[in-house]
Amino acid sequence: HAIASEIDQEMKQLKEYKLGIEGSEEGRWILIDYGDFVVHILSGEARAYYALEEIWGDAPRLEWQDTERPRPAPADDRAAEPAPEDGPPPAAAPESLDA
């Protein structure tokens, strides 16, 4: 589950929040749903059994390019706040009209 946790932490840094996760109990095939895309994490055994590459064999194949992108720096006023578990950050309170 370390891979799923690391992916989720990285996605939170990019302001992408998961809508759901399936399969984390067994760990053979974990699916993380981010709405616009899903992440599949399969054990070697599950990958061989389900052969997803064969199911989508006629789809165009994209070569992965591992590029290092800088992480966004936290805003100074929010740096001490813990990151939310899931979902977007809470909305800021409205400013007072008495000011």
Residue 25 pLDDT greater than 80, yes or no: yes
- Domains of the chain, with CATH numbers? 2-60 (3.30.460.10)
pLDDT digits (tens, 9 = 90+) for 69-98: 666 666 555 544 555 555 555 544 444 444
Higher pLDDT, 3 or 83: 3
* pLDDT at 54 (0 to 100): 84
pTM of the model: 0.56
Residue located via tokens 């760990």? 27
Query: In the predicted model, what is the mean pLDDT of residues 42-68?
Result: 83
Higher pLDDT, 11 or 60: 11
Cα Rg, the chain, nearest whole Å: 18
